[in-house]
């Protein structure tokens, strides 16, 4: 029987915690992890005051701080080691890592070295090797999947690092891996015996955008959802279907030009003239795809363009986005705060970050009690509720007019 039926009516306070929670801040996301711990502490303190909570007095259930004392040490050769300053035996450990954080460097023999994703991954393996056999359970929260940006192998002579990474995590005893909006969900096939949860960011990004720009009208006559290419159409369908908005997309084609094969893009969908656009993608890398699509939509007569992507890497710098914003190509770029964002990005007028800290804290709280997280990680119901509230608000606005 599906757990949707088995767990019907269960309250999380009726489910015994797996063990005392311990959180380890792996990378430079220490401030993010600290806030997750604070939110979790606040929520559990409120719950422990309720008379129905029979686990409120369990050791480690409600604490001021869930962060485990630990240290990652680097040597001048670039090697490193990880150590923990307190016992984790019997703990339910959550390692929160941001493999893309690039604000850390170390002094090597011949100069500075910026910590790369490969370094971050190796450090994660160090942490897991220390925890193995000591912690009761080990969970990894890796918002952006390391090496998870490829949906297929082009050749058997190429490495498939994402599958290798997942297999190593499984061998080191990781029970649950939590990744957000992965580029390709089929990565889970590499480790069928390891639990992989894939929470969506769509609800939080949409609600954050609407809180900032109340002028966006979520109706079929005013707003379109657009995917920049056919590979991201499933993500755009999610927004379109649950917000009840029309879907359009660009698809790639190839043609011969001056003896060379050139890639082109063709628009397929409704007329965009005078309409707001929700431009959906899984990440913003250099920004070339997003800006190219926004320019084409503007040339077709689109009104305001709002770009939504869970992860903003901005590997090509911010100047190209500044220019596009000044030129009126887009109105806003909304990402999450799940990965590192430098101050120069956060201070941009066109940038908007959806706060995922309470969501991460809630996921940890649920997993610790072995609570079903199906409804929690699936933002379908919440997006539909948000859409219905918007419709009701629009009805009242029309009535008041």
Q: What is the mean pLDDT of residues 88-105?
A: 89
Label residue 107 by pLDDT band (50, 70, 90): confident
Q: Is the distance from CB of 209 to CB of 332 less than 8 angstroms? A: yes
Q: What is the mean pLDDT of residues 325-336?
A: 96
Residue 150 is predicted with a pLDDT of 72
pLDDT averaged over every residue in the chain: 86
Lowest mean pLDDT of 147-161, 219-233, 301-315, 349-363, name the range.
147-161
Whether 98 shows a pLDDT value over 60: the answer reads yes
pLDDT tens digits along 34-46: 999 999 999 988 8
Q: Is the distance from CB of 103 to CB of 28 less than 8 angstroms? A: yes
Label residue 395 by pLDDT band (50, 70, 90): very low
**Distance from C-alpha of 125 to C-alpha of 119, rounded to nearest angstrom:** 10
**Distance from C-alpha of 62 to C-alpha of 44, rounded to nearest angstrom:** 6
**Distance from C-alpha of 326 to C-alpha of 349, rounded to nearest angstrom:** 11
**Distance from C-alpha of 233 to C-alpha of 220, rounded to nearest angstrom:** 18
Percent of the chain with pLDDT strictly greater than 70: 89
Instruction: Give φ, ψ of 122 to 5 degrees.
Output: -65, -40
Mark 199-232 as b/e (b = at least 16 C-beta within 10 Å).
bbbbbbbbbbbbeeeeebebeeeebbbbbbeebb
**Distance from C-alpha of 401 to C-alpha of 301, rounded to nearest angstrom:** 28
**Distance from C-alpha of 136 to C-alpha of 92, rounded to nearest angstrom:** 6
The pTM is what?
Answer: 0.88
Partners of residue 353 on adjacent β-strands:
335
In CATH, the architecture of 3-200+357-370 is 3-Layer(aba) Sandwich (3.40)
119's tokens: 């370094």
Question: Does 315 or 383 have the greater pLDDT score?
Answer: 315
* H/E stretch holding 111: strand 111-114
Residue 4 is predicted with a pLDDT of 38
Q: Is the distance from CB of 262 to CB of 255 less than 8 angstroms? A: yes
**Distance from C-alpha of 213 to C-alpha of 14, rounded to nearest angstrom:** 41
Indicate where the chain has its CATH 3.40.50.2020 domain(s): 3-200+357-370, 202-355+383-396
Label residue 383 by pLDDT band (50, 70, 90): low
Q: What is the mean pLDDT of residues 88-106?
A: 88
Label residue 86 by pLDDT band (50, 70, 90): very high
Tell me the CB-side half-sphere exposure of residue 312, using CA atoms within 13 A. 23
pLDDT tens digits along 150-184: 766 677 777 888 999 999 999 999 999 999 999 88
Instruction: Say which DSSP state 229 is in.
Output: S
In CATH, the architecture of 202-355+383-396 is 3-Layer(aba) Sandwich (3.40)
Residue 399 is predicted with a pLDDT of 33
Taking residue 66's Cβ as centre, other Cβ atoms within 10 Å add up to: 26
Label residue 74 by pLDDT band (50, 70, 90): confident
Who contacts 269 (Cβ-Cβ below 8 Å, separation ≥6)?
Answer: 224, 226, 246, 247, 248, 249
Whether 108 shows a pLDDT value over 90: the answer reads no
Residue 380 is predicted with a pLDDT of 67
Question: What does 138-184 look like in DSSP terms, one character per residue?
Answer: EEEE-SSPTT---SS-S-TTS--HHHHHHHHHHHTTEEEEE-SS-S-
Who contacts 5 (Cβ-Cβ below 8 Å, separation ≥6)?
Answer: none
Give the CA angle between residues 339, 344, 348 to the nearest 5°. 95
Who contacts 134 (Cβ-Cβ below 8 Å, separation ≥6)?
Answer: 87, 88, 89
Residue 14 is predicted with a pLDDT of 63
CB-based burial label for 342 (10 Å; 0-12, 13-18, 19+): exposed
**Distance from C-alpha of 36 to C-alpha of 357, rounded to nearest angstrom:** 5
pLDDT tens digits along 195-237: 999 998 988 999 999 999 988 898 999 999 999 988 888 889 9
């Amino acid at each position: 029987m599906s757990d949707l039926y088995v767990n019907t009516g269960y309250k999380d306070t009726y489910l015994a915690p797996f063990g005392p929670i311990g959180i380890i801040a792996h990378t430079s996301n220490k401030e993010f992890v600290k806030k997750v711990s604070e939110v979790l502490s606040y929520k559990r303190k409120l719950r422990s005051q309720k008379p129905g909570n029979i686990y409120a007095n369990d050791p480690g259930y409600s604490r001021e701080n869930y962060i485990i004392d630990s240290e990652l040490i680097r040597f001048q050769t670039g090697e490193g080691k990880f150590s923990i300053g307190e016992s984790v035996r019997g703990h339910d450990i959550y390692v929160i890592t941001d493999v893309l954080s690039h604000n850390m460097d170390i002094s090597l023999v011949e100069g500075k070295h910026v910590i790369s994703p490969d370094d971050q991954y190796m450090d994660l393996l160090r942490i897991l090797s220390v925890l193995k056999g000591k912690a009761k359970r080990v969970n990894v929260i890796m918002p952006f999947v390391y090496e998870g940006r490829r949906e297929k192998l082009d050749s058997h002579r190429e490495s498939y690092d994402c599958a290798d990474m997942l297999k190593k995590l499984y061998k080191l005893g990781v029970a649950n891996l939590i990744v957000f909006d992965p580029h390709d969900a089929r990565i889970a096939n590499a480790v069928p015996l390891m639990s992989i949860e894939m929470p969506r960011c769509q609800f939080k990004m949409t609600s954050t955008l609407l809180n900032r720009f109340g002028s966006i009208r979520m109706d079929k006559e005013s707003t379109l959802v657009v995917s920049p290419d056919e590979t991201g159409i499933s993500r755009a369908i999610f927004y379109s279907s649950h917000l009840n908005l029309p879907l359009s997309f660009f698809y790639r084609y190839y043609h011969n030009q001056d003896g060379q094969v050139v890639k082109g893009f063709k628009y397929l969908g409704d007329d965009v003239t005078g309409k707001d656009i929700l431009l959906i993608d899984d990440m913003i890398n250099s920004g070339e795809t997003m800006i190219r699509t926004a320019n084409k939509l503007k040339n077709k007569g689109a009104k305001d363009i709002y770009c939504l992507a869970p992860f903003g890497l901005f590997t090509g710098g911010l100047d190209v986005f500044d220019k596009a914003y000044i030129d009126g190509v887009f109105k806003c770029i909304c990402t999450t705060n799940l990965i590192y964002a430098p101050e120069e990005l956060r201070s941009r007028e066109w940038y908007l970050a959806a706060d995922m800290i309470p969501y991460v804290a809630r996921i940890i709280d649920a997993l610790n009690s072995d609570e079903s997280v199906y409804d929690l990680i699936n933002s379908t119901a919440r997006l539909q509720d948000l859409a219905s509230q918007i419709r009701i608000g629009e009805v009242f606005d029309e009535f008041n007019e």
